[in-house]
């Protein structure tokens, strides 16, 4: 009984599963004893080395900066495009097939071509992050705009709202719960594309950090870096969930099913 | 004053066939009259209302409001929908004030008018609630207040009480009548309930199903203000109910 009460406390089940994973890892490392799988405890011990190293902090900072920039540009362009696509058959017909074609292509696979054109610098990486974030954002915004109750639009029109204001005053807020789901997928995508683009165009960033350590057979640092990337993703998602809840508290409850994929 | 003249509406169905929803409808509603459009579901009565609202285009014929042909929506015709169509991201006050601000009414003046309206529809104390926190009856009160706020000359009501339970429905019918008796707006009221149409209206426009055509126009000469409990005992009311129900029964031609 006491155990069940303890397990029902918020935050306890994830902590338990995390500890279980670490224990399993520790055990596997001890049993297998291979060089490529350092023990959980040794990886955790090397975490401060990654986190408090000025150089790696700068790399992580540079990565996050590019990620934020790519994400922001995607939000500013893909959401309006998706909303208009959801309301206009002509616009959807024009962009739809194009986007469907690019959707399943892993964005990192475009990196070599983008590098040919724009080099290995920030621009290419921001561009590929932007591409990765844009597609789920367009998709969710379009679905959200398409599902807007026609009668909301009619009500606003009867009040005298001009057509040019409709997208931002009626369609965007109506579709916001769906748009925010798109943003959540977008954050995961941004992180994935960010790391993979840096693994291909190795100049700076977390992905570069990861592969440099791998090259030098510093396996503990490799694992520690992966943990850091995971933690960044977790923190960004938790932060975004707070923002999302605050912005769409008025929405009827729905299942927050989020489809990911890289 | 609404003049509907030889109005027809044909839809293209998914399979590509043409489906006549409305056929040759003519109806004229003088200012201040309460007219119900009564018919079985699928008779195109809501479509007729949407065309008057300017939300849907007619295939042929025309609608004139105050002498001018309807080409689109306008604040002279205020819709109230069965599904309420409230802005879910706005509070009760936010919903009701929306049209006023859209019309350029200064905020202070708009706030005063909203407070008065919310009192009239018994929503005082719910100003900061959001639609998802309200019952169906309260949502429809908000929707009615929102439409009354910008003071349209004509109310277009599309089965507004159709989604409510019987008790709330009766309550709101009474409230609507008392509001209407105060400012006597022109009302087009779509319903499939014979009793509701007779209780509320000056005239009932009965339609046939698919394609929607005029079946009969019945004048309701019951005295106002109407009290439901008295009407139920009134012979003329009972006879009108029977007359219209018989009309609706033999609709299969």
ipTM comes to: 0.94
How far is the C-alpha of A135 from the C-alpha of A131, rounded, in Å? 7
How far is the C-alpha of B79 from the C-alpha of B155, rounded, in Å? 6
Name the least confident of A40-44, B97-101, B248-252: B248-252
Of A152, A158, A160, the CB nearest to B87: A152
Using the predicted structure, report yes or no on whether residue B156 has a pLDDT greater than 50: yes
The pLDDT of residue A13 is: 87
Structure tokens at A105: 């292509």
* Mean pLDDT in residue range A179-208: 90
Q: Does A154 touch chain B (CB under 8 A)?
A: yes
Q: Band of the pLDDT at B171, cuts 50, 70, 90?
A: very high
Cβ–Cβ gap A158/B73 under 8 Å: yes
Q: Could you count the other beta carbons within 10 Å of the beta carbon of residue A125?
A: 30
Residue of B nearest to A171 (CA): B87
How far is the C-alpha of B219 from the C-alpha of B198, rounded, in Å? 9
Ranges of H-type helices in chain A? 2-7, 12-32, 40-51, 54-87, 89-102, 111-118, 122-146, 150-158, 163-166, 172-200, 206-215, 219-247
How far is the C-alpha of B142 from the C-alpha of B138, rounded, in Å? 6
CB A248 within 8 A of CB A181: no
Q: Band of the pLDDT at A64, cuts 50, 70, 90?
A: very high
Name the least confident of A250-254, B151-155, B164-168: A250-254
Using the predicted structure, report yes or no on whether residue B128 has a pLDDT greater than 70: yes
* Mean pLDDT in residue range A242-261: 73
Q: Provide the CB-side half-sphere exposure for A177 (13 A, CA).
A: 16
Q: Band of the pLDDT at A259, cuts 50, 70, 90?
A: very low
CB B59 within 8 A of CB B95: no
The pLDDT of residue A256 is: 47
Q: Band of the pLDDT at A9, cuts 50, 70, 90?
A: confident
Using the predicted structure, report yes or no on whether residue A253 has a pLDDT greater than 80: no
Mean pLDDT estimate for chain B? 94
Structure tokens at B38: 């009564």
Q: Does A160 touch chain B (CB under 8 A)?
A: yes
State how far residue A73 is from chain B, nearest Cα, in angstroms. Answer: 26
Cβ–Cβ gap A155/B85 under 8 Å: yes
Contacts (Cβ under 8 Å, ≥6 apart) of B235: none
The pLDDT of residue A258 is: 46
Chain A hits for B54, CB-CB cut-off 8 Å, are: 157
* Mean pLDDT in residue range A141-148: 96
Chain B hits for A155, CB-CB cut-off 8 Å, are: 79, 81, 85, 87, 146
Using the predicted structure, report yes or no on whether residue A140 has a pLDDT greater than 80: yes
Cβ–Cβ gap B87/A173 under 8 Å: yes
Mean pLDDT estimate for chain A? 90
State how far residue A160 is from chain B, nearest Cα, in angstroms. Answer: 6
Of B75, B88, B90, the CB nearest to A158: B75
Chain B hits for A159, CB-CB cut-off 8 Å, are: 75, 98-99, 102-103, 150
Structure tokens at A165: 């204001």
Name the least confident of A193-202, A235-244, B63-72, B141-150: A193-202
Note the pLDDT tens digit of each residue in B204-237: 999 998 789 899 999 999 999 999 999 999 999 9
The pLDDT of residue A257 is: 45
State how far residue B87 is from chain A, nearest Cα, in angstroms. Answer: 7
Cβ–Cβ gap A149/B87 under 8 Å: no
How many A-B residue pairs are in contact by the CB < 8 A criterion?
A: 68
Q: In what order do the strands lie in the sheet with B186-191?
A: B77-81, B154-158, B186-191, B34-38, B203-207, B214-219
Q: Band of the pLDDT at A12, cuts 50, 70, 90?
A: confident
Chain B hits for A152, CB-CB cut-off 8 Å, are: 85, 87
Q: Band of the pLDDT at A93, cuts 50, 70, 90?
A: very high
Closest of B98, B99, B91, B158 to residue B128, by C-alpha: B91
Cβ–Cβ gap A160/B53 under 8 Å: no
Report the SS3 class of residue B193.
coil
Residue of A nearest to B128 (CA): A250
Of A159, A176, A251, the CB nearest to B150: A159
The reported pTM is 0.88
Residue of B nearest to A249 (CA): B89
* Mean pLDDT in residue range B227-249: 93
Distance in angstroms between the alpha carbons of the first and the last residue of chain B: 33
Q: Which helix (H) or strand (E) holds B238?
A: helix B235-249
* Mean pLDDT in residue range B35-44: 91
């Amino acid at each position: 009984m006491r155990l069940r009460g303890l397990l029902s406390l918020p935050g306890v089940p994830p902590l338990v599963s995390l500890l279980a994973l670490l224990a399993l890892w520790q055990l596997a490392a001890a049993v297998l004893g291979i060089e490529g799988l350092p023990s959980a405890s040794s990886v955790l011990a090397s975490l401060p080395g990654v986190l408090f190293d000025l150089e790696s902090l700068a790399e992580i900072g540079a990565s996050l900066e590019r990620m934020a920039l790519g994400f922001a540009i995607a939000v500013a362009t893909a959401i309006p495009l998706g909303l208009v696509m959801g309301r206009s058959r002509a616009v959807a017909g024009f962009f739809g097939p194009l986007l469907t074609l690019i959707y399943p292509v892993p964005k990192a696979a475009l990196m070599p071509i983008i590098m040919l054109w724009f080099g290995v610098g920030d621009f290419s990486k921001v561009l590929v992050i932007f591409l990765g974030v844009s597609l789920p954002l367009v998709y969710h915004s379009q679905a959200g705009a398409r599902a807007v109750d026609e009668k909301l639009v009619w009500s606003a029109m009867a009040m005298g709202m001009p057509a040019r204001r409709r997208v931002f005053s009626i369609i965007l807020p109506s579709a916001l719960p769906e748009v925010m789901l798109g943003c959540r997928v977008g954050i995961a995508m941004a992180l994935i594309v960010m790391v993979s683009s840096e693994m291909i165009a190795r100049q700076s960033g977390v992905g570069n950090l990861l592969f440099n350590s791998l090259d030098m057979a510093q396996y503990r640092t490799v694992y520690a870096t992966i943990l850091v990337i995971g933690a960044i993703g977790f923190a960004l998602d938790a932060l975004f969930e707070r923002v999302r809840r605050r912005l769409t508290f008025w929405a009827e409850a729905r299942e927050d099913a989020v489809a990911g994929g890289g | 004053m609404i003049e509907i003249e030889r109005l027809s509406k044909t839809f293209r169905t998914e399979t590509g066939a043409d489906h006549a929803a409305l056929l040759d409808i003519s109806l004229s509603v003088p200012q201040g009259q309460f007219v119900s459009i009564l018919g079985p579901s699928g008779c195109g009565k809501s479509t007729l209302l949407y065309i008057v609202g300017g939300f849907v285009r007619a295939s042929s014929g025309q609608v004139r409001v105050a002498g001018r042909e309807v080409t689109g929506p306008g604040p002279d015709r205020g819709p109230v929908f069965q599904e309420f169509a409230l802005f879910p991201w706005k509070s009760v006050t936010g919903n009701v004030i929306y049209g006023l601000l859209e019309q350029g009414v200064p905020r202070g003046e708009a706030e005063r008018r909203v407070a008065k309206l919310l009192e009239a529809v018994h929503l005082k104390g719910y100003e900061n609630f959001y639609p998802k926190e309200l019952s169906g009856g309260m949502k429809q009160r908000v929707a009615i207040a929102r439409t009354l706020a910008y003071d349209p000359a004509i109310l277009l009501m599309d089965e507004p009480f159709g989604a409510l339970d019987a008790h709330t429905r009766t309550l709101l019918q009474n409230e609507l009548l008392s509001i209407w008796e105060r400012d006597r707006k022109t009302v087009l009221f779509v319903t499939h309930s014979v009793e509701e149409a007779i209780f509320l209206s000056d005239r009932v426009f009965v339609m046939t199903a698919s394609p929607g055509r005029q079946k009969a126009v019945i004048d309701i000469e019951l005295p106002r203000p109407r009290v439901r409990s008295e009407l139920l005992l009134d012979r003329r009311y009972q006879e009108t109910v029977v007359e219209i129900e018989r009309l609706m029964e033999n609709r299969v031609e």
